[in-house]
């Protein structure tokens, strides 16, 4: 029989399987291999969702504890245990999420010995750590009540815990108040980066009030969901009380948020037509405005659908608020964006899935809810025998784990199949492919003063070409098209170096059928060396497998570059004689990066000329400025319409 709960558990186990494999990749190859984080986005999904939103979602624990133990509203007692359990598991999930995000997770205990009273994060860490302990003690009675612990020692512990309930609750409220608000204070230090619609000097108050509202709605949503999955009746009368309270709290949140902006005079920004203002209004309406209004209507807050809608909206909206502050509204330079890698989602979801599984485990075995559980869901212990079917020979306690471990393996296999290469093999250099050279029509006026760079101009910029100017296409050396370029007078160099005879001094290697291959054809990456030897085409060109011995010595067992015939044996005509740079004897299976090639070639020649024939060439020829002069700073975007995509001569 597949019930709702079985389906839910099956899905959760698949997610946990995926999570497990990503975990291996994360801790073997580091953050860069498994996330899209970078120096401009140092905090991503794992902080925004797992930590920021995770702590806020677990706020129901202290809110309900306060309601029942401090304010004496006894009728809400049925919600306390699930809320405390949610909070306990939620904070453990936060801690686990943090272990993934920290670069050096084995140092997570360092704050305990290096106290930094000036760091908000330190305060958050200490409060979270202490609150986790408080939650453990608050939840402990639920476990100790189990018949398993019916021993004198445990009974005594239980009695002590029950006696200190009130101090624990008060401590929990204090710690929660402090760290729920301080999560907002974390962003006070970044007024230069957080968008003005989210930055506020009282952001800690906003985080706290929104956490209280979210806590109430999270308890509501959880009751509805457990009612659905465990098939017990939902007490809408009690939930409507929580709904009314949430309506008031969310209303206060909206009032503080908008009022604070109005007082500081930044509310105008919310009415500008921009993505950010749209996001602001969407987030505010979903997380607070609409739920607050709907929950104020008795008919809606007493219906399951109404409560479900409102709690869903608040949970979604408040999670969004945290993520907006932490990621979306947090400035990064233009042209950079961040969207989490799927592995980041896998970890976040995996932690949630594991927490839900543990929650279900406790609900099934301990007295978390007051209602008796659906007996069909509790696995029967001990084998039972049914001679009709074979399957019944195996007790439910064995079949269920068997089903779930299979699903776990399915999840794990899925993850392995789709893991990005860098997560499996480690990070690789970031490739920057080089584009073909382009030219622009220009002219060059030789500078008579030795040592000064020649004047370069563009034909479209001037009405008439000045007298004595050489009109020629200028090559734009700008392999990665980032706009930082050097203009190269190809004709001028050819003339100076001796006409067609001189090609070989720079074009040292030819691709097949080429007379003078362009630089980018081999130097294919801007910064990284790339392989240029195409083994496949050589196999085809030498009669398939029959051709191996044409290059590889038949006596050598290992067929590698080291044992192969030198390329020049067959392709002597591809290699120009007398190039400026060293003959690429050994290394010509890979070509150095484009930038290294350009610097290596041009600079070497310039240095040689300046040093060997000081009379003919100025000393400054070997300076960076010889090439990277004022032309370097031409605004490239203005040139683009005039650029010819054709290859150089």
Does 102 bind another protein (CB under 8 A)? Our answer is yes
The residue range among 130-138, 169-177, 381-389, 486-494 that interacts with another protein, by the rule CB under 8 A, is 169-177
Window 120 to 159, contacts with another protein (CB under 8 A): 120-123, 125
Q: Which is nearer to another protein, 326 or 519 (CB)?
A: 326
Q: Which is nearer to another protein, 207 or 359 (CB)?
A: 207
Does 269 bind another protein (CB under 8 A)? Our answer is no
310 close to 300: Cβ distance less than 8 angstroms: yes
| DSSP, residue by residue, 348-370 | HHHHHHHHHHHHHHHHHHS--SS
The residue range among 1-9, 200-208, 270-278, 366-374 that interacts with another protein, by the rule CB under 8 A, is 200-208
The residue range among 185-193, 530-538, 546-554, 604-612 that interacts with another protein, by the rule CB under 8 A, is 185-193
Q: How far is the CB of 101 from another protein (least distance, A)?
A: 8
Q: How far is the CB of 58 from another protein (least distance, A)?
A: 15
Q: How far is the CB of 545 from another protein (least distance, A)?
A: 39
Neighbours of 499 (CB within 10 A): 9
Window 385 to 414, contacts with another protein (CB under 8 A): none
- Own/partner contacts of 72-78, CB < 8 Å, gap of 24 or more, are 75/238, 75/241, 76/238, 76/241, 76/242, 78/235, 78/238, 78/369, 78/370
Structure tokens at 482: 């980032």
Q: Which one of residues 10, 30, 309, 620 is an interface residue with another protein (CB under 8 A)?
A: 30
Rounded-to-integer distance, Cα 35 and Cα 55, Å: 22
Q: How far is the CB of 57 from another protein (least distance, A)?
A: 17
Q: Which is nearer to another protein, 55 or 509 (CB)?
A: 55
Helices (H), 186-235: 203-230
Determine the longest span between alpha carbons in the chain, in angstroms: 108
Select from 362, 366, 288, 279 the least CA-distant residue to 324: 279
Does 632 bind another protein (CB under 8 A)? Our answer is yes
3-state SS assignment for residue 575: strand
DSSP state letter for 69 = I
- Rg, the chain, Cα only: 35
Q: Which is nearer to another protein, 411 or 479 (CB)?
A: 479
Structure tokens at 160: 């002590």
Helices (H), 267-395: 275-284, 290-296, 298-301, 304-323, 342-365
DSSP state letter for 530 = E
Structure tokens at 514: 């080429």
Tell me the residue length of the chain.
649
Rounded-to-integer distance, Cα 77 and Cα 603, Å: 80
Window 203 to 242, contacts with another protein (CB under 8 A): 204, 208, 212, 216, 241
166 close to 71: Cβ distance less than 8 angstroms: no
Rounded-to-integer distance, Cα 163 and Cα 84, Å: 17
Q: How far is the CB of 307 from another protein (least distance, A)?
A: 16
Q: Which is nearer to another protein, 49 or 408 (CB)?
A: 49
Cα dist. 182→84, 96, 124, 128, 175 in Å?
Answer: 21, 20, 6, 11, 10
The residue range among 116-124, 271-279, 313-321, 373-381 that interacts with another protein, by the rule CB under 8 A, is 116-124
Rounded-to-integer distance, Cα 487 and Cα 359, Å: 66
Q: Which is nearer to another protein, 256 or 465 (CB)?
A: 256
Rounded-to-integer distance, Cα 326 and Cα 462, Å: 51
The residue range among 6-14, 88-96, 117-125, 560-568 that interacts with another protein, by the rule CB under 8 A, is 117-125
Does 245 bind another protein (CB under 8 A)? Our answer is yes
Q: Which is nearer to another protein, 301 or 609 (CB)?
A: 301
Does 186 bind another protein (CB under 8 A)? Our answer is yes
Window 544 to 583, contacts with another protein (CB under 8 A): none
Does 628 bind another protein (CB under 8 A)? Our answer is yes
* Count of residues that bind another protein according to CB under 8 A: 95
Could you give the string, one character per residue 36-75, with x where binding to another protein holds by CB under 8 A and - elsewhere? xxxxxxxx-------------------x--xx-xxxxx-x
Half-sphere CA count of 613, side-chain side, radius 13 A: 5
Nearest 10 degrees: CA dihedral of 38, 24, 111, 331?
Answer: 20
Q: How far is the CB of 98 from another protein (least distance, A)?
A: 8
Does 477 bind another protein (CB under 8 A)? Our answer is no
Could you give the string, one character per residue 527-546, with x where binding to another protein holds by CB under 8 A and - elsewhere? xx------------------
The residue range among 180-188, 379-387, 466-474, 563-571 that interacts with another protein, by the rule CB under 8 A, is 180-188
Helices (H), 573-647: 594-598, 604-612, 636-639
Q: Which one of residues 1, 104, 388, 612 is an interface residue with another protein (CB under 8 A)?
A: 104
Q: Which is nearer to another protein, 430 or 496 (CB)?
A: 430
Window 305 to 364, contacts with another protein (CB under 8 A): 330-331, 333, 335-336
Does 189 bind another protein (CB under 8 A)? Our answer is yes
Contacts of 514 (CB under 8 A, 6+ apart): 521
Q: How far is the CB of 130 from another protein (least distance, A)?
A: 11
Q: Which is nearer to another protein, 69 or 230 (CB)?
A: 69
Does 178 bind another protein (CB under 8 A)? Our answer is yes
């Amino acid at each position: 029989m597949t019930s709702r709960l079985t389906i839910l558990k099956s899905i959760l186990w698949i997610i946990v399987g995926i999570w497990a494999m990503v975990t291996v990749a994360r801790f073997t190859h580091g953050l860069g291999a498994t996330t899209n984080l970078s120096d401009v986005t140092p905090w991503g999904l794992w902080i925004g969702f797992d930590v920021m939103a995770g702590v806020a979602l677990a706020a129901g624990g202290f809110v309900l504890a306060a309601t029942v133990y401090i304010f004496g509203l006894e009728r809400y007692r049925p919600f306390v245990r699930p809320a405390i359990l949610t909070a306990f598991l939620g904070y453990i999930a936060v801690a686990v999420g943090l272990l993934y995000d920290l670069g050096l997770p084995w140092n997570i205990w360092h704050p305990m010995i290096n106290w930094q009273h000036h760091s908000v994060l330190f305060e958050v860490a200490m409060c979270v750590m202490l609150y986790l302990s408080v939650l453990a003690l608050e939840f402990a009675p639920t476990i100790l009540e189990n018949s398993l612990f019916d021993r004198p020692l445990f009974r005594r512990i239980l009695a002590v815990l029950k006696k200190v309930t009130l101090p624990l609750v008060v401590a929990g409220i204090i710690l929660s108040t402090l760290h729920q608000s301080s999560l907002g204070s974390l962003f006070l230090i970044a007024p230069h980066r957080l968008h003005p619609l989210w930055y506020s000097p009282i952001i800690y108050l906003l985080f706290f009030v929104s956490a209280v509202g979210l806590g109430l709605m999270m308890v509501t949503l959880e009751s509805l969901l457990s009612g659905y999955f465990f098939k017990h009746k939902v007490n809408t009368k009690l939930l409507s009380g929580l709904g009314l309270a949430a309506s008031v709290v969310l209303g206060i949140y909206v009032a503080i948020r908008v009022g604070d902006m109005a007082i500081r005079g930044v509310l105008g920004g919310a009415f500008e037509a921009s993505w950010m203002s749209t996001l602001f209004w969407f987030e505010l309406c979903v997380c607070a405005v609409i739920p607050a209004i709907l929950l104020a209507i008795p008919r809606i807050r007493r219906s399951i659908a109404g409560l479900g809608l409102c709690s869903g909206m608040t949970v979604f909206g408040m999670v969004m608020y945290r993520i907006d502050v932490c990621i979306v509204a947090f400035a990064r330079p233009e042209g950079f964006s961040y969207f989490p890698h799927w592995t980041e989602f896998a970890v976040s979801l995996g932690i949630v899935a594991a927490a839900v599984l543990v929650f279900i485990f406790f609900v099934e075995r301990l007295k978390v809810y007051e209602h008796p559980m659906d007996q069909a869901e509790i696995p029967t212990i001990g084998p039972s025998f049914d001679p009709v079917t074979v399957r019944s020979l195996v007790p439910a306690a064995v079949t269920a784990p068997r089903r779930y471990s299979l699903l776990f393996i399915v999840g794990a296999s899925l993850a392995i199949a789709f893991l990005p290469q860098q997560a499996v093999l480690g990070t690789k250099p970031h490739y920057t492919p080089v584009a073909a050279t382009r030219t622009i029509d220009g002219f060059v006026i030789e500078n008579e003063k030795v040592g000064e760079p020649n004047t370069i101009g563009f034909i479209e910029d001037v009405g008439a070409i000045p007298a004595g100017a050489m009109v020629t296409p200028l090559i734009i050396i700008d392999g990665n098209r980032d706009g930082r370029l050097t203009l190269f007078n190809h004709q001028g160099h050819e003339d100076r170096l001796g006409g067609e005879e001189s090609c070989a001094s720079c074009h040292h290697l030819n691709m097949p059928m080429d007379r003078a291959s362009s630089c980018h054809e081999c130097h294919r990456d801007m910064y990284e060396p790339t392989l240029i030897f195409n083994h496949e085409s050589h196999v085809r060109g030498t009669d398939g497998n029959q051709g191996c011995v044409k290059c590889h010595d038949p006596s050598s067992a290992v067929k590698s570059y080291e044992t192969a015939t030198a390329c020049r044996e067959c392709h002597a005509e591809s290699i120009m004689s007398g190039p400026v740079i060293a003959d690429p004897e050994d290394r010509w299976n890979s070509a150095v990066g484009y930038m290294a090639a350009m610097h290596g070639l041009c600079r070497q020649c310039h240095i040689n000329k300046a040093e060997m024939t000081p009379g003919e060439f100025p000393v400054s020829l070997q300076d960076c400025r010889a090439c990277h002069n004022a032309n370097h700073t031409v605004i490239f975007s203005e040139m683009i319409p005039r650029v010819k995509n054709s290859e150089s001569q």
